[in-house]
Amino acid sequence: MSTAPRLSTPLPSRQTIRSWLQDFRRRSTPRALALSAFDYALFVALTVAIAVVPSVLVKLLLTPVAGFVIGRLFVLGHDACHQAFTPNKRLNAVLGRLLFLPSLTPYSLWETGHNVVHHGYTNLKGFDFVWAPLTPAEYRALPRWRQRLERIYRSGWAPGLYYLIEVWWLRMMFPSARYLKVRRPVFLKDDLLVTAFAALWVAALIGTAVATAQSAALLVLCGFVLPFLFWNTLMGFVVYAHHTHPRIRWYADKAQWSAATPFVSTTVHLQLPAGFNRLLHNILEHTAHHVDMGIPLYGLPDAQRCLEAALPGKIVVQDFSWRWYFATARHCQLYDLEAARWRRFDGKPAPARTDTTGATSTAR
C-alpha cells in the first residue's frame, strides 16, 4: 500500500500527490470482464423480469432496481473511458461503449465532455459545465421562465431533470454547435449507436407485449422509461453532491483556480451508509478519482484513505443525510465569484460553515 506524509502546509503539486497513489493504479482485465458480465446479466435479468412478470406492482418495484443497475454499468463504463478498467486501450473503448449503452451515453461525447472538460477544468466557470452555478448577475439577466427552471434544478427535488436536459440531451445526444463546437465523425457514430440500442430496447419490449397480450405502453414505461429516468436522477444527485457544498469553491480566474490545486479542493467525499458506496462501485470516493483518473474503481477506497491521511484539513468529507442535502439545496443556489461564497436566489449568503446548515462535515 502507498504511503504519504501528513501535511499541514499548502498543497503540493498534483504530480506529487499522484505519486503517492501509484500502487492503487493496478488494473486487471479478468476482474474487469467479470464485473462487466455480472452487471450486464443483472440488467438483462431485471429487464426480462419486468417484461414477463404479470403483476404491475412488481414491475413498478423492479424499475428503480433496474435504474440502479444501469448506474452500476455506467460506472464500469466510466472507468473504461478513463482507461482505468483494463490495461488494454482498445478493449477499454469496446467495453466502455457496451457498458454505456443502457444509460444511452455516447462514449466519445462523454469522453470529451467529462474527461477533457470536467476533469481538466473542474469548477472553473466558463469551462466546466457540470452543475456550474450561475452568478447573481447571470441569474438576474435570465428570462423569467429560465429563472424558474434554475430554481427547479436546484430545489433538491430535480437532480435527474438537470442531468437529463443539461447534460444528456443538450450535450450528449446530437448536440448543436452551441454546446459542441468541434465536430468529429465518431461523435455521430456513437450517437447513432445509442439511438439504435434504445430503438432495439423499446422494440423488444413492444414485441414482448404483443406476444404476451400485455400493454405495450406499460412495458415501455416500466422496462425503459422509468429505469432510464431513475438512472438520470441517480447520476444527477451524485454529481451534484460531489461539487456543491458550502466549502467547495468555484473560480472565474484560471490562474487563481490553478493555484488552488483544484483536483483536491473542488470535490466532496460523500459518505453514505455502509455498503451503498460499494454497490455503486466506489464512485463516491471522488477526491481520489479527481486526483488520478487512472485508479480503477476497486483501488479508490484505499487511495481515498491515503489522501485523507496525507492531507489533513484539506479534503471535504461529508456524512450524507437528507437534512444536509436539502439544506445545501436551500443555501447553495448561486455563486458569488467576487466574494468566493455561495448565495441563495434571494441574494442572502450561505452559511460559511456546513454545520450551520444542519449538516455534519469534517475535513480530513
Query: What pLDDT, in 10s, does the model give residues 307-348?
Result: 989 888 888 999 999 999 999 999 999 999 999 899 999 989
User: Which residue is associated with the grid cell 470482464?
Assistant: 33
- The whole-angstrom distance between residue 362's C-alpha and the CA centroid of its chain comes to 22
Strands (DSSP E) along 161-280, which ranges? Answer: 268-271
Domain ranges of the chain: 1-26+251-364, 27-244
Can you say whether the dihedral through the CA atoms of 47, 49, 53, 55 is positive or negative? Answer: negative
Q: With H, G, I as helix, E, B as strand and everything else as coil, classify residue 230.
A: helix
Closest CA to 264 of 285, 244, 290: 290
- The whole-angstrom distance between residue 336's C-alpha and the CA centroid of its chain comes to 24
Query: Rounded distance, CA 316 to CA 248, Å?
Result: 8
CA 39, 40, 41 angle in degrees (round to 5)?
90
Q: With H, G, I as helix, E, B as strand and everything else as coil, classify residue 363.
A: strand
Query: Rounded distance, CA 305 to CA 311, Å?
Result: 10
User: Which residue is associated with the grid cell 466506489?
Assistant: 282
What tens digit of pLDDT does each residue of 124-177 get? 998 989 899 999 999 999 999 999 999 999 999 999 999 999 999 999 999 999
Q: What is the mean pLDDT of the chain?
A: 90
Quote the DSSP letter at residue 348: P
Give the number of other CB atoms < 10 A from CB of residue 6. Answer: 8
Quote the DSSP letter at residue 315: S
What tens digit of pLDDT does each residue of 240-295 get? 999 999 999 999 988 888 887 778 888 899 998 868 889 999 999 999 999 999 99
Q: What is the mean pLDDT of residues 71-79?
A: 97
Closest CA to 351 of 330, 321, 337, 320: 330
